[in-house]
Amino acid sequence: DGGITQSPKYLFRKEGQNVTLSCEQNLNHDAMYWYRQDPGQGLRLIYYSQIVNDFQKGDIAEGYSVSREKKESFPLTVTSAQKNPTAFYLCASSRDNRGGQPQHFGDGTRLSIL
């Protein structure tokens, strides 16, 4: 079945450590997105990519990095510069970024600090 796969489901980070969250889609979607969700805060956009080898910062990009080397993959690295990384991270994709296409979401990764 087509969909978006995020892994791992749970992730723990030590102080000063970089961790990478995986996001893979087999929907043949051009656009991909990373969101952070904190309790009672809704979703905030971290990074997005409209095409392979291109990506843009969202509203809260500081302390995060991404790459888009393949259409189906959009990994997110939470760097040690992100001082408050504990949150629920959601990856999404859409067919393209025109015409109000709905975004489809993965199951999320819950990141905690050890």
Partner 1 sequence: AQKVTQAQTEISVVEKEDVTLDCVYETRDTTYYLFWYKQPPSGELVFLIRRNSFDEQNEISGRYSWNFQKSTSSFNFTITASQVVDSAVYFCALLEANRDDKIIFGKGTRLHILP
Q: Least distance from C-beta 67 to partner 1, angstroms?
A: 18
Q: Which amino acid is at 104?
A: H
Q: Can you tell me which of 10, 84, 100, 114 binds partner 1, judged by CB under 8 A?
A: 100
Nearer to partner 1, 16 or 99 (CB): 99
Q: Least distance from C-beta 66 to partner 1, angstroms?
A: 14
Q: Which amino acid is at 42?
A: G
Judged by CB under 8 A, the stretch of 12-20, 63-71, 79-87, 93-101 that binds partner 1 is: 93-101
Judged by CB under 8 A, the stretch of 18-26, 61-69, 74-82, 92-100 that binds partner 1 is: 92-100
